[in-house]
Amino acid sequence: MPLFLFNFVACILSFCNITEDPKLLYLPINHSNMNHKRSWAEPYKIKMVELLKMTNLKDRIKAIKEAGFNTFLLKSEDVYIDLLTDSGTNAMSDQQWSAFMVGDEAYAGSKSFYHMEKAVQKYYGYKHMIPTHQGRGAENILSKILIKPGDIIPGNMYFTTTRLHQELSGGTFADIIIDEAHDPLSNHPFKGNVDFQKLEDLIKKYGSDKIPYISIATNVNMAGGQPISMANLRELRTFTRIHGIRIIHDMTRVAENAYFIQQREAEFHSRSIAEIVKEICSYTDGATMSAKKDALVNIGGFIATNEWDVYEEARNLVVVYEGLHTYGGLAGRDMEAIAVGIRESLDDNHQHARVGQVEYLGNKMLEFGIPIVLPVGGHGIFVDAKAFLPHLTQDQFPAQALAAEVYIDSGVRTMERGVVSAGRKADGTNYYPKLELVRFTIPRRVYTQAHMDVIAESVANVYDRRKKIRGMKMVYEPKYLRFFQARFTKL
């Protein structure tokens, strides 16, 4: 589709959505405390650089073949710009590195644990915190505590590890996100919102006692880094109070979500990200966190809860799976760096530059006519592989094929977020998600604007020869989370 037509459709769609609710005005960047004419430039300068190996076409073709056309199986040495994930790939600040040096490595009762606990209590407002080695460690423990076989866990879209832990505990995930989240062309400002009709239907069908909690992700990863609005969350809190259901917060990108609330919900234009984050958390009963995203570290996570009983049980279980409850699989220095990273993630200028860089890349791709998920999300650009490669069926893994082609073109590593990531149902049949995407995830504080230019130019290059791109066949499929290790050949 030509660019003007693409924009026109997006514009019409966005108009339809926005007029539904006058409170949800989708406004352009509008910081009351910022100069409107300034762009998103970084609030830091660079003290140390990491040299990259520049790759050539011949070596890239060899490398991707050896990796079974799965970007997860590439060696990072063979990658030029690594957009596989924003998880654990952030650049730490000088403050975080110096915090590393004062990490207290005591087995029990480390000072660093108390610093991290204090940061979680102060900035997020949760009462109790237990560290874990990363987000899925927290999900494992919380799912074991809260879910009984036969339970239903509604959520604003699934996440791979979150849903797997729910299923391993005998639960079933149920999607209650608004339909717009599944439509890459919908310009809805809050695609992470909950559809209350879907939730009510579930309660009618199963009863609220079969629903131990509702899982709410802030900035919905699988929808393309899309936010939930404060209005929707407040309504959900009222609703869940009536029905006696908990809200568990998958708070991996809560600060990015808060940034969108600040930009797009009129009530919050002059509130700080720190204030908005605290209010979001106040409407939930507990959380799992992967600190590898928002909190600007390379490893770490935690469970947070306001309930003493849940805390007690989690403290017991964490010893089995992670480590003592005052380190949960982390070094003291990791907990120290998380405490600093949480504070830095809530800085308005940091988030302005963070999301600004992602928007810059998105606009660049739109200029080239590339079909991407709109509006641009918080942590990356999601290219619509179905629209990019309309000649391929979903069984030919279009997103997997596209990610391989982009790597071959420029050494830019992305990942598949489509039918491979969605995996199989308990009965063995494939999930066929509506969204078949290639994710270009931007690590925080790592790459420059010139890198963004190279990425967009490379995708444009692949777009020019898209009709020649062939589909894939899966030749090896692991049992769990197959996208990590599956292997493919070209059809």
Ligand X SMILES: *Cc1c(COP(=O)(O)O)cnc(C)c1O
Total site size for ligand X, rule CB under 6 A: 15
**CB burial of residue 409 (10 Å; 0-12, 13-18, 19+):** middle
Position 162 contacts ligand X (CB under 6 A): yes
**Should residue 166 be labelled a site residue for ligand X when binding is judged by CB under 6 A?**
no
Considering only the stretches 9-17, 128-136, 196-204, 447-455, report the one whose residues sit in contact with ligand X under the rule CB under 6 A.
128-136
Q: Which stretch binds ligand X (CB under 6 A): 130-138, 225-233, 389-397, 453-461?
A: 130-138
Strand ranges in 167-220 using DSSP code E only, listed in sequence order = 172-175, 213-217
Q: Pick one of 292, 354, 364, 413: the residue that binds ligand X (CB under 6 A).
A: 292
6, 113, 159, 327: which one is catalytic? Answer: 159
Q: Rank residues 154 and 301 by Cβ distance to ligand X and give the closer one.
A: 301
Between the two ends of the chain, the Cα-to-Cα distance in Å is 26
Q: Quick check: 362 binds ligand X (CB under 6 A)?
A: no
State how far Cα 214 lies from the chain centre.
Answer: 18
Q: Is 250 a catalytic residue?
A: yes
The DSSP secondary structure of 16-72, one letter per residue, reads HHHTT-TT---PPP--TTS-TT-----SS--S---------HHHHHHHHHHTTT-GG
Q: Is 160 a catalytic residue?
A: yes
191 binds ligand X (CB under 6 A): no
Count CB atoms within 10 A of the CB of residue 316: 12
The yes-or-no answer on residue 284 being catalytic is no
Q: To the nearest whole angstrom, how small is the minimum distance from the Cβ of residue 31 to ligand X?
A: 26
Q: Does 217 bind ligand X (CB under 6 A)?
A: yes
Q: Are 440 and 381 in contact (CB under 8 A)?
A: yes
Q: Cβ-closest residue to ligand X? A: 135
302 binds ligand X (CB under 6 A): no
The crossing angle, in degrees rounded to 10, of helices 273-282 and 230-243 is: 20
Q: Should residue 215 be labelled a site residue for ligand X when binding is judged by CB under 6 A?
A: no
What Rg value do the Cα atoms of the chain yield, rounded? Answer: 22
How far is Cα 181 from Cα 373, in angstroms, rounded to an integer? 10
User: Binding of ligand X at residue 250 (CB under 6 A)?
Assistant: yes
Please say whether the dihedral angle defined by the alpha carbons of residues 182, 186, 191 and 194, taken in this order, is positive or negative: negative
Q: Per CB under 6 A, does 290 bind ligand X?
A: yes
Cα 469 to Cα 9, 47, 372, 390, 413, distances in angstroms: 26, 42, 18, 11, 17
Determine if 252 is a binding residue for ligand X (CB under 6 A).
Answer: yes
Q: How far is the CB of 346 from ligand X (least distance, A)?
A: 18
User: Which residues are the active-site residues?
Assistant: 107, 159-160, 250, 293, 417, 483
Q: What is the binding site for ligand X (CB under 6 A)?
A: 87, 134-136, 159, 161-162, 217, 221, 250, 252, 290, 292-293, 301
